[in-house]
Structure 1
Amino acid sequence: MEGLNMCGVENGGMVMRKRVMVVVDQTSHSKNAMMWALNYVANKGDLFTLLHIIPLSSNGSERASESSCSPYLANSLGSLCKACRPEVEVEALVIQGPKLATVMSQVKKLEVSVLVLGQKKPSSIISCFCGTSSTEEFVEQCINNGECLTVGVRKQSRGMGGYLISTRWQKNFWLLA
């Protein structure tokens, strides 16, 4: 029952609502994951949290280019979600800090039921042989160490359609949605 909150009484019974959190940034793969979660995970009355993390630079200060657009990005994505699904409660959070630690702490603090992360397509055949990118490693760490159901979402190519979904139990599961 962790991550589920009582929402109220409907037709004589208690209604449970969940909190769905999506880590967003300016990339297309995070926006695809956000729209997938909004359409296929969130239900009426659920809490839908958009988390945008401003990373620290190597000297501990915030990155100027990302910090200036972060509130605008988070709020505009939040407005898009509200316009698409007005029956879902949407909130946008902008937090500065190390990405993995910030995500894990917010999952615990907010009692998140489902965490959704965008996965990008491998950029080339060379990346398959040379190892994973930092984004892929981040998604894998969240999936393997998350305290809630964590889903990596990657939109298929235009010709194929659907999504590749990765969880702790299933990797690259093709879902036609």
Structure 2
Amino acid sequence: MGDGTAPARKVMVVADPTRESAAALQYALSHAVLEHDTLILLHVENPNSWRNTFSFLRRPLPAATSPYAGTSSATDGGGGVDFLEAMRHACESAHPKQRVHVERVPMDGKDKGAAILHHSKAHAVDILVIGQRRSLSNAILGQRRSGSFRGLETAEYLIENSKCTCVAVQKKGQNAGYLLNTKTQRNFWLLA
């Protein structure tokens, strides 16, 4: 670009109704996305997941914080605001000029990591951001076991196999910052 600004990028955030996904979006909005970038919220739907049967995982936002309060969508079981709409609203509040696309995709017989990888390639994504949950067994035993990807969580699978920059994000407390993992940096602390 001739005006000295960086070229627009595509940033994809894996969106789920979890704390880890909310932390990934918060990190992306505050540290990864620039005003002229395109932000893609990707949710991979698993029709066989036990979570799909419970509507309490999709919490409505208070009326003061959301223009969607009091409405319901076909995807939230009539219980309030869909989590993807709430995430889109958070993006629009943080960056009003930001281009935000929301995409729901089925797993199509693949595992979640393969479905995310496929869509990140199809969209030619520059940065992929995913929330990461650390279990005690992973912390003690280490992430890689016998050189195989079997048993690895989705975030680790994406870090190892993504052609673009993939950042796995863990929020550490309200004001403590983020613990980031990429292919080249492990357990990198970024203060809030």
The answer to whether the superposition gives a TM-score over 0.5 is: yes
| Aligned-pair identity (%) | 29
Output one character per residue of 1:6-44: Cα deviation in whole Å (capped at 9) or x when no partner: xxx663x67510000000111111101101101101001
Matched residue, 1:89: 99
SS at match of 2:183: coil
Does the residue aligned with 2:7 lie in a helix, a strand or coil?
Answer: strand
| 80-89 vs 108-117, greater mean Cα deviation | 80-89
Alignment correspondent of 1:34: 25
1:9-28 alignment to 2 at 5 Å?
A: 11=3, 16-28=7-19
Higher helix proportion: 1
Mark the runs of 5 or more structure 2 residues left unpaired by the alignment: 56-73, 144-149
Show structure 1 runs of 5+ residues with no match: 1-8
State the alpha-carbon separation in 1 of the partners of residues 89 and 151 from structure 2: 26
Normalised to the residue count of structure 2, the TM-score between the two structures is 0.72
User: Are residues 172 and 129 of structure 1, via their aligned partners in 2, closer, same or farther at CA, if it must alter by over 3 Å?
Assistant: closer
1:68 aligns with 2:84: no
Q: Could you tell me how far apart the structure 2 residues matched to 1:161 and 1:151 are? A: 18
Mapping 1:19-168, distance limit 5 Å? 19-57=10-48, 63-65=52-54, 68-69=75-76, 72-97=82-107, 98-122=111-135, 124=136, 128-129=139-140, 137-158=153-174, 161-168=176-183
**Structure (1 or 2) with the greater strand fraction:** 1
C-alpha root-mean-square deviation of aligned residues, in Å?
A: 3.0
Q: Within 2, Cα distance between the matches of 1:135 and 1:154?
A: 19
